[in-house]
Amino acid sequence: MKALKLLFGLALVATIFTSCTTNPVYEEPAISLNQLLGSYDLWYVDINQTAGYGETPFLQIAFTLSFRNGVLFANNNLVGFGPNGQGNGLGIDVGEYDAYDMILDVYHDLDGFQSFDVYQVDYDTIELYNPFNDTSYFLHGYQKSAFDYDFVFYDNIHYFLQEYKAWEKTYTSQMGALNEFDSENYLQFLAGGNDSEFRSSQDYNISNPNDIYWDYTGIYGVGNITGNTHLKTLTLDYDYFDNEFFELSVLNDQVIELYHAKSGTTYEFTGRGYIQYMRNAQARGVENDGKLKSSELEKKRKQKTAKKDNPRVNKRD
């Protein structure tokens, strides 16, 4: 009887051993950082998720980034933004990059060298942590076919208006009551500062936007209209006069339509002097002076690694 038990036990052990060796548990192989960055056509920069008080200039102005065989592309403008737009939807070439060991080194054409620690948050989200300014940016991956270019465009009309040196009035409808805005022939929406300043001019037929004399200044605001994502409101708050209120439509990426609700007049303005954004950091052309020493960088990375063990607190909340 003991012999039978012993024999049965040996058979059971052999069976378990055989099953373990012939049916290994499958684990999906890890991919490299280069493969991860290249796995999506576009990485949308969700600026509202930014954690930290610092700024990395080329990330601040980019709507999307694309990583293609060592070349970094960015959509910094809404003019020409779309699947068939600049760079076939990827934007313009803004620099080069090197990716290794979950570290991303970027050599931006204007901002110079920037280094990031990369963390994969989930299957389509990555965090770029800049140890130089202790700030994180969060990027969401999309394929071109699934990316909603229209949503990004209309959600950022405020910045679209800033992409021309001036908007020239090129059409006024016959219908509508006479009003003071009939005399305004140029508008300008200023980037930088509080990002909401505008100027207007009664000049006429000026060929060079730089020669326009600006008569009035004020603050502008763009708002949403419920139920219509492609129609916006535009309020011009003049410093010393009453506000002007319009319904804003984009006819194409160079022409906007303003419907003056109070008078019933429709205007068209055409963009003059396109501004391609490649804004640089303060360290234009700086190489070694614009980056941390390797020892300082490593210290920052170690601090960041320790932080990852704790829940993140968004310092902007």
pLDDT in tens, 224-271: 999 999 999 999 999 877 899 999 999 999 999 999 999 999 999 999
Q: Do 91 and 134 fall within a single domain? A: yes
Whose CA is closest to 284, among 130, 133, 113?
113
Residue 242's pLDDT is 84
Domain of 243: which CATH number? 2.40.128
Q: Is residue 15 part of a domain?
A: no
CA–CA gap between residue 78 and residue 93 (Å, rounded): 16
Q: Do 193 and 119 fall within a single domain? A: no
CA–CA gap between residue 260 and residue 251 (Å, rounded): 16
Residue 241's pLDDT is 78
pLDDT in tens, 49-88: 999 999 999 999 999 999 999 999 999 999 999 999 999 9
Q: Which residues of 74-112 are buried (b: 16+ CB within 10 A; e: fewer)?
A: bbbbbbbbbeebbeebbbbebbebebeeeebebbbeebb
Q: Do 131 and 220 fall within a single domain? A: no
Structural domain tally of the chain?
2
Q: Do 85 and 54 fall within a single domain? A: yes
Q: Do 140 and 245 fall within a single domain? A: no
Residue 23's pLDDT is 52
Look up the domain containing 44 and give its range. Answer: 33-153+278-307
In the predicted structure, residue 96 carries a pLDDT above the cut 50? yes
φ, ψ dihedrals at 158, nearest 5°:
-50, -40
Question: Stretch 91-103: mean pLDDT, rounded?
Answer: 95
Q: Is residue 158 part of a domain?
A: no
CA–CA gap between residue 112 and residue 130 (Å, rounded): 14
Q: Is residue 77 part of a domain?
A: yes
Judge whether 300 and 291 are in contact, CB under 8 Å: no
Specify which of 26-40, 243-257, 267-281 reaches the highest per-range mean pLDDT. Answer: 243-257
pLDDT in tens, 150-192: 999 999 999 999 999 999 999 999 999 999 999 999 999 998 7
CA–CA gap between residue 46 and residue 48 (Å, rounded): 5
Residue 307's pLDDT is 43
pTM, entire model: 0.75
Q: Do 184 and 268 fall within a single domain? A: yes
Q: Is residue 2 part of a domain?
A: no
Whose CA is closest to 164, among 139, 138, 190?
190
Q: Is residue 200 part of a domain?
A: yes
Q: Do 145 and 292 fall within a single domain? A: yes
In the predicted structure, residue 8 carries a pLDDT above the cut 60? no
